[in-house]
Structure 1
Amino acid sequence: MAALLHDLGKPAVDQRVTLHRADGQSVGIWDPLAGPMTDVPHCHAYTVTYRPRRRHGFHERVTSLLVHHIMPARGLCWLASDQTLFAQWVATLAGDMNEAGALGEIIQEADGLSVARNLGAGDSPRVAPARTRPLWERLLTGLRYLLDQGELPLNRNGAAGWLVGDDLWLVSKRAIDALRAHLIAEGHSGIPSSNDRIYDTLQEHGILEPYGERAIWHTTVAGAGWSHELTLIRIPVRRIWAEPDNRPGYFEGTVTPRAPEAREDNAHEPTEPDQNDAQRDPVGDLPSPTPAAPIATDNTPPIEPEAPRPDNEYVPGLEPASASDSRQDEPRGDDDGPTDAGSRFLQWLQREALARRMDVNTPHARIHVVEEGVLLVSPAVFKDYASQNPDHGSWEYVQKRFMKLRVHQKRPDGTNVHRYLVKGARRQSVVKGILLPDTAMVFSEGVEVALVNPHLQASR
């Protein structure tokens, strides 16, 4: 029943279901919350379209309101007789996979395989044989999915893309890396590890509009009070959303193409810092410690923060495009046990701390000791690991496997990312990361634990 009902809320909030008479004339929009479709007189057929600007994940929270139309009261009472089972069942329908236990994991795995099979990912041994769709079609479908689900946010500072007129502009490396990781996670094989290969495929089928002979556009993206020089790919909006009513709102700013500088190599995609990373990374925000004290102490006076970096400057922990393109996003090894990517990341973290190869409590540090435990700046620290261990999977995969270890502290609202205010001499900023409540998870026996960083304070 969890499998059958897990997307039940979509017709209520994500889709617009139009009812028709036998002669094809419309008899209105069906509201599932008002009752079954069969209660509407003269209804012989229906058509379905997706609502524009729908809220990501909202349908999961609506599902429980419709369950009684499908499942009889006797069945619900039987499930409720086992409170532990019932709690997992309800959490699964609501999309709360942190509380759904084994049942939620089964439904997630089955849902992923179902989507992969529908997309034609039949080369994977986990999926039943099916007609394999051409690569360009899978890439386009994957892009539509990521945009539809909000995995590639749009039209704001730090977004993955901007909709301007008839064009959708996407941050090149960020979008293609996310697309590759999504397709591999759903069981597709034969996905190129090179971004250039993916660009060529999209360009050949008219999905990507090139800049001359190159896929990459050098642009200036500007909004209210902010501006970034970014490398983007340009996609005609009709290739993503054929119906104008289904398109999101337009960007209230500008995307201005510019000629690449002479030092920029158009043959290869330049390393593009993740804007979200730039906002999360404490570089330039944390007060710098004195040179003689690489670890901040309680008497370390806060001094003037470093000047902000240019938007296109290399950020430590962001791997160059060549390193990202040369690795497969799926790991090689077991998904559980000591060879799991999450366990290997934790072991790497402990070794780096033991050898004092990682800064602690400094402006560029990925590790900060706070009153609540140890804060790992995310995703920067996972990108550091993936850059050094490219055969262990993408940083997204490593972070996901690490969260599976459940050694981190969740926030009261159930989310995983903690926010800390960074108090400088003249300004405040925010650093985000994963909180480990036990310092021994990083600083193993025999390693001196740094003092609490006095410049970081948890944001409630």
Structure 2
Amino acid sequence: LKLNQPGVAGWLTQDALWLVSKTVTDKLRAYLLSQSIEGIPSSNIAVFDELQSHGLVESTPKGKAIWTAQVTQGDWQQTFTFLRLQPALIWGNEDRPENFSGTVSIAAHDNSTDTPVPTPAPETVRARSSQSQPQPDPMALEDADYLGTLLDMFGLEEPEGSHVPSESTDDTSTLPSDSPGQAFLNWVKEGILSHKLVINDSKAKIHTVGGTVLLVTPGLFQRYAQELPGVSQGSDQEIEEWRWVQKQFEKLKVHRKRDNGLNIWTCQVQGPRKKTILKGYLIEEPKLLFELMPLDNPFLKIEKD
């Protein structure tokens, strides 16, 4: 799909990829059918719901999959219904195209604020009137490999850090709900809900695999310690803060242990261009982090003991 010009079906801003809903969904359905995949809904609304339920598209403030927004570039303006995606889902660690030089403004009746595209000079974004009617979706699209980048969303990176965290066994003590370990888990859940923490992306530290959730170590714990410096204050342990946080998390006993009693699991990552591994904790009950569990990352496989 071409981007960022009149007559196309996608616009890339700093924080979102806006895809014209009907055009892209029709292309998506055609592609899936061409791959002999069964059970594809004939209704676009059902497809929207599926994409939304698996966290592939962002929801509006009202919880819907479809956004109405006006695209403006110079003297050209048009209003469309969009699916909104995180750019990292498409490009991963690859070079992103340049951002749209115009504006994408969320419609007033979407009960959300306008989203201007950042430009060097300040710019006033014109809010679309709630009385104006959406225009038809553009159909001038290339017959290209329009889902190639989507299927290649996991452009993989090497594991963060060369050292593997030391194995340890769980403390059997019972922890209060406001324990440091629970505070970390709450931070993870809130980060997932707000999209501050991405999942199943090439740089993500959270993945769904084997029907459970992998929390990548040390990366996720290091980020928590960086965002909350001094979190281990009051502790007499002379260790790095992220390791202290990790030990507090282990005390919750919400992770799955390996047959040999150790805590850290290894996942093989098979990507389009290279292989690597990720190490981390598997959450026994995914509902601790997700109200609706996303699909497994198809490129990850848990190593057996």
TM-score by length of 2: 0.42
Whose helix proportion is higher, 1 or 2? 1
Larger Rg: 1
Q: With a CA cutoff of 8 Å and minimum separation of 6, indicate the structure with the bigger relative contact order.
A: 2
